[in-house]
């Protein structure tokens, strides 16, 4: 992670800086894209003239951005425009440490497994509780069919192994049912989100935070009132297909 305080970025500058690190994704939820800048995904609970300015409940669970795509994101850059006076932090967990602190026996078992990642899993588990306006529409569901990724991936730059699963999008292990997968996934999800692996970012206006989705997961904490504005711009940098161990 890299944290840049007190940045003053126009959308064009945000996009231009992000492009220095690779091509940019256009998020599948098109209604949350910034007008004129489809590379910017708006994460916001602000409503203007009766119309939401972005996606209000995005990321309010542990996940790695776009792990539900065949080629997941490399990194994300989030720029804070409005934040709550209290609350609205984001937690990040280190997936290198999560893997390295497992027993050797469990590491060997996980090295040979793949898992299914599905945007619809988050839709059913989290967004369905928020009502119809938070749900994925049919077009978004069709663009994001389930995909398979190795449970342990080798980072292409560092060569280190990291767990590549998350509660938001990982539904089950390949060749296992969800019922069979649930006990081990539950243990792993508890393990990877323990406090020893977590950095909690307290946002300030004009923060730009850049994180690597290949070795972290994150969770936006929704502990502020519905009428309290939280308005962010995010770019997402294209990645590479996860390489198994």
Q: For residue 240, how many other CB atoms are within 10 A of its CB?
A: 15
Which of 149, 214, 233, 234 is flagged as catalytic? 234
234 is catalytic: yes
Which of 14, 55, 63, 172 is flagged as catalytic? 63
- Bridge partners of residue 201, in order along the sequence: 90
240 is catalytic: no
218 is catalytic: yes
Describe the chain by its helix, strand, coil percentages, rounded to 5. Answer: 25, 30, 45
Which of 14, 218, 219, 233 is flagged as catalytic? 218
The 10 Å CB-count burial string (b at 16+, else e) for 2-34 is eeeeeeebebeebbebbeeeeebbebbbeebbb
Which of 55, 65, 153, 155 is flagged as catalytic? 65
Structure tokens that stand for 89 in this block: 């932090």
Are the C-beta atoms of residues 9 and 16 closer than 8 Å to each other?
A: no
14 is catalytic: no
* Sign of the torsion formed by the C-alpha atoms of 18, 199, 217 and 85: negative
Q: Collapse the DSSP code of 214 into the 3-class scheme (helix H, G, I; strand E, B; otherwise coil) and give the result.
A: coil
Catalytic residues: 63, 65, 218, 234
């Amino acid at each position: 992670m890299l944290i840049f305080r007190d940045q003053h970025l126009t959308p064009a500058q945000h996009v231009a800086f992000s492009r220095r690190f690779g091509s940019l994704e256009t998020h599948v939820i098109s209604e949350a894209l910034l007008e004129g800048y489809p590379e910017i995904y708006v994460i916001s609970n602000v409503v203007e003239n009766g119309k939401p300015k972005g996606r209000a409940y995005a990321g309010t669970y542990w996940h790695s951005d776009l792990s539900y795509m065949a080629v997941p994101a490399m990194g994300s850059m989030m720029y804070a425009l409005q934040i709550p006076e209290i609350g609205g932090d984001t937690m990040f967990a280190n997936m290198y440490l999560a893997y390295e602190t497992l027993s050797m026996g469990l590491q060997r078992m996980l090295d040979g497994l793949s898992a299914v990642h599905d945007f619809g899993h988050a839709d059913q588990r989290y967004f369905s509780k928020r009502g119809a306006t938070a749900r994925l529409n049919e077009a978004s569901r069709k663009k994001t069919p389930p995909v398979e990724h190795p449970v342990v991936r080798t980072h292409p730059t560092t060569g280190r192994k990291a767990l590549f699963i998350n509660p938001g999008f990982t539904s089950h292990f390949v060749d296992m049912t969800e019922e069979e997968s649930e006990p081990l996934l539950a243990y792993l999800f508890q393990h990877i989100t323990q406090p020893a692996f977590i950095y909690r970012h307290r946002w300030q206006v004009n923060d730009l935070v850049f994180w690597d989705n290949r070795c972290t997961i994150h969770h936006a904490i929704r502990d502020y009132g519905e009428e309290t504005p939280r308005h962010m711009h995010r770019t997402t940098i294209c990645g590479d297909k996860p390489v198994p161990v």
